Chain A
Amino acid sequence: MKNLKYLLIGMLFGIILVKSEVISWFRIQEMFRLESFHMYGVIGSAVITGILGVLLIRKLGIRTISGEAIVLPKKPFTKGNIFGGLIFGLGWAITGACPGPLFAQIGSGFTVVIVTLLSAVAGTWVYGLLKEKLPH
Chain B
Amino acid sequence: MNPIQEPWPWYVAGPLIGLTVPLLLIIGNKALGVSSSLRHICAACFPGKIPFFNYDWKKESWNLFFVGGIALGAVFCLAFMHNGEPVQLNEATITALKAQGVQEFDELMPGDIFNWGNITSPIGLLFFVTGGFMVGFGTRYANGCTSGHSIMGLSTLQWPSLVATICFMAGGFVMTNFILPHLMKWLLL
Contacts and interface: CB of A to CB of B under 8 A. Distances in A.
Nearest to A79: B141
Contacts of A84: 137-143, 164, 167
Interface string B155-181: 111111101111111111111110110
Contact of A88 (B46, B63, B145): B145
A98 B135 contact: yes
B130 interface: yes
Interface residues of B, number: 125
Contacts of B17: 13, 16-17, 20, 42, 46, 49
B189 interface: no
B39 A13 contact: no
B77 interface: yes
A131 B42 CA distance: 14
B161 A75 contact: yes
A120 to B, nearest CB: 3
Interface residues of A, number: 117
Contacts, number: 497
A66 to B, nearest CB: 8
A59 B145 CA distance: 28
B84 to A, nearest CB: 12
Nearest to B71: A107
Given A54-B21, A103-B74, A121-B42, A30 B89 contact: yes
Contacts of B132: 91, 95, 102, 115-120, 122-123
Contact of B109 (A20, A25, A82, A126): A25
A99 B172 contact: no
Contacts of A41: 9-11, 14
Looking at chain A's contact residues, the main secondary structure is: helix
A128 B53 contact: yes
Nearest to A107: B74
B128 A99 contact: no
Given A85-B138, A85-B142, A107-B72, A32 B67 contact: no
24 contacts: A14-B70, A18-B81, A19-B8, A20-B8, A25-B109, A41-B14, A46-B151, A64-B26, A65-B28, A77-B159, A81-B142, A81-B167, A85-B164, A86-B170, A90-B175, A92-B175, A93-B171, A94-B175, A97-B135, A100-B145, A104-B71, A108-B78, A112-B128, A113-B114
